[in-house]
Amino acid sequence: MSKTIIISNRLPLQISLNHGKLDVTPSVGGLATGLKSFHRDGDSIWIGWSGLTTEEIPANLIDEVSQKAKEQACIAVNFTEKEMEGFYYGFSNRSIWPLFHYFMEFTEWETWHWETYKSVNQKYADAILEHYKEGDKIWVHDYQLLLVPNMVREQRPNAIIGFFNHIPFPSYEVFRTMPWREEILNGLLGADLIGFHTYDYERHFLSSVSRILRHQVNFNEVSLPDRMVKVDSFPMGIDYNKFEQAALNHFENTLESQSDLQQRLDHHRKGAPGAKLILSIDRLDYTKGIAHRIRAFEYFLEKYPQYIEKIRLVMLAVPSRSEVPQYQLLKKEIDALVGRINGKFATVSWTPIWYFYRSMPFTNLIDLYASCDIALLTPIRDGMNLVAKEYIASRKDQTGVLILSEMTGAAQEMNEAILINPNNFEQIADAINQAIEMPVEEQISRNKLLQKRLKRYDVEKWANDFMKSLSKTQENRQSNKAT
Ligand code: ADP
Ligand code: G6P
């Protein structure tokens, strides 16, 4: 029977060492959290990095690493420290990530990073080929693996290959600065179908293909000498039922079964008349606009001092890519900002910002989504932003206000949110004020529409639409051969 081979750098599970034993935790990040349910419900295997380097895995635990992955229908690929440095911390996260998010000043072009990126992509392509059987569908994910589609195509010309990019694709003027731009585009064009979250990313990609490679582009198809490549947009959804159900369970919790976090959240809200909580959740990444958000919150407290002692920002940041210098600097900047603002505004009974720098279990995330009156998400650039969708899906009584940056892919589908420009602090401060004052009926009428849309375009629909479109490219290829 044919299967789908999912391939991404990060598996949905993260294996780590804890006092000589293996620990398995769920991975954080939109790709892993989103695709997990498609993998769980379908007939697929998932190939990706185990989370440990070859040097870190003791000889007696090598088989156990594979076994832990296998329990979740995953195949763990291991890399050396040097490979992780050049491929993951290097080309993926110091070149492509900043470039594709328009942080051109952060890009580094190191030839050895690029060489390692190529060899690690080849390692992934080899892992696919090892498990591939004719008729299988191969679904490659994200910017760490841009060369994989063509590496597989060279070995299996008839394979059915899809690629989905989870981050933005930048405009031609930005993309053209990449030293190895032709190789990257040719790598991607090994796929039959290339998917993006939004039409804009799709358009930018097609424009780069036609201007750099000079291939003919007709509407959303690229004509190669021997085949066609389809390019389309598929906005990724969330596992809506999971969040809806978790929110229902949350409200059934008795005082005894409530988490400590929940009790503290409730304590704040009962502490003063009109007390409200604002939530922010992201990986600690410079693209997420976390420092902007804190500064805008500071400005809000200055402009609207009547909310002092009433409004608290609950800020959750999950550690990410901590060996990349910009992430280290950002961590310092945020620590300093939070300290400064808490020092400036705190009273004996209140601190304006509650800051958690860690990953949280799912039930705590739901506590936060369900308890916070406002979600404030201010990325400077974000391919999609699933947190915005998860917040709305978790609002059982349909109250709550989402303030969302217009620079996220999600903003294109979430017009009922208060959309802001993350660089405009005045606008963010006013948006917070508007959110606090928004009548409950208005909150409900906005969220009703959002929930309806998110429920309909959930992650299952996203994956099915992509897979259907991928099968179609195969049918077209066969009928073109027959004629
Ligand atoms: P990105 O993919 O860039 O990290 P998204 O908003 O698309 O951004 O996805 C982030 C995912 O990670 C969401 O599914 C969210 O629930 C999860 N997440 C974010 N922060 C945390 C945290 N501190 N603990 C656990 N999960 C988190
Ligand atoms: C984003 C990327 C994913 C990545 C995730 C977490 O969602 O699109 O590919 O897995 O961030 O980042 P990390 O570097 O920890 O894998």
pLDDT of residue 143: 98
pLDDT of residue 339: 98
Q: Which value does ipTM take for this structure?
A: 0.98
Could you tell me which residues come within 8 angstroms of residue 254 by beta carbon, excluding any fewer than 6 positions away? none
Residue nearest to atom 15 of ligand 2 (CA): 320
CA distance 308 to 275: 10
CA distance 249 to 253: 7
pTM score of the predicted model:
0.96
Q: In the numeric block, which tokens belong to residue 109?
A: 């072009």
Identity (one letter) of the amino acid at 459? Answer: V
Please give the helix or strand (H or E) that residue 312 lies within, else none: strand 311-318
Q: Is 386 near ligand 1, meaning CB less than 6 Å away?
A: yes
The alpha helices in 352-400, defined as continuous H runs, are: 362-371, 386-393
pLDDT in tens, 393-436: 999 999 999 999 999 999 999 999 999 999 999 999 999 999 99
Rg (CA), the chain: 23
Is residue 287 within 8 A of residue 382, CB to CB? The reply is: yes
In angstroms, what is the span from residue 360 Cα to ligand 1's centroid? 10
Ranges of residues in the chain with a pLDDT under 50 are: none
Q: What is the DSSP string of 296-316?
A: HHHHHHHH-GGGTTTEEEEEE
Q: Is 208 near ligand 1, meaning CB less than 6 Å away?
A: no
pLDDT of residue 483: 67
pLDDT in tens, 189-235: 999 999 999 999 999 999 999 999 999 999 999 999 999 999 999 99
In angstroms, what is the span from residue 286 Cα to ligand 1's centroid? 14
Residue nearest to atom 16 of ligand 1 (CA): 387
CA distance 148 to 7: 9
Instruction: Say which DSSP state 380 is in.
Output: S
pLDDT of residue 368: 96
CA 372 to chain centre: 22
Q: Is 47 near ligand 1, meaning CB less than 6 Å away?
A: no
CA distance 329 to 59: 36
In angstroms, what is the span from residue 30 Cα to ligand 2's centroid? 7
CA distance 46 to 406: 33
In angstroms, what is the span from residue 429 Cα to ligand 1's centroid? 24
Q: Is 239 near ligand 1, meaning CB less than 6 Å away?
A: no
Q: Is 12 near ligand 2, meaning CB less than 6 Å away?
A: no
Q: How many CA atoms lie within 13 A of 28 on its CB side?
A: 18
Please give the helix or strand (H or E) that residue 467 lies within, else none: helix 459-482
Could you tell me which residues come within 8 angstroms of residue 300 by beta carbon, excluding any fewer than 6 positions away? 307, 428, 429, 432, 433
Residue nearest to atom 12 of ligand 2 (CA): 29
For a pocket test of ligand 2, which of 10, 25, 93 has the largest count of ligand atoms closer than 8 A to its C-beta? 10
Do the strands 44-53 and 193-196 form a parallel or antiparallel pair, or are they unpaired?
Answer: unpaired
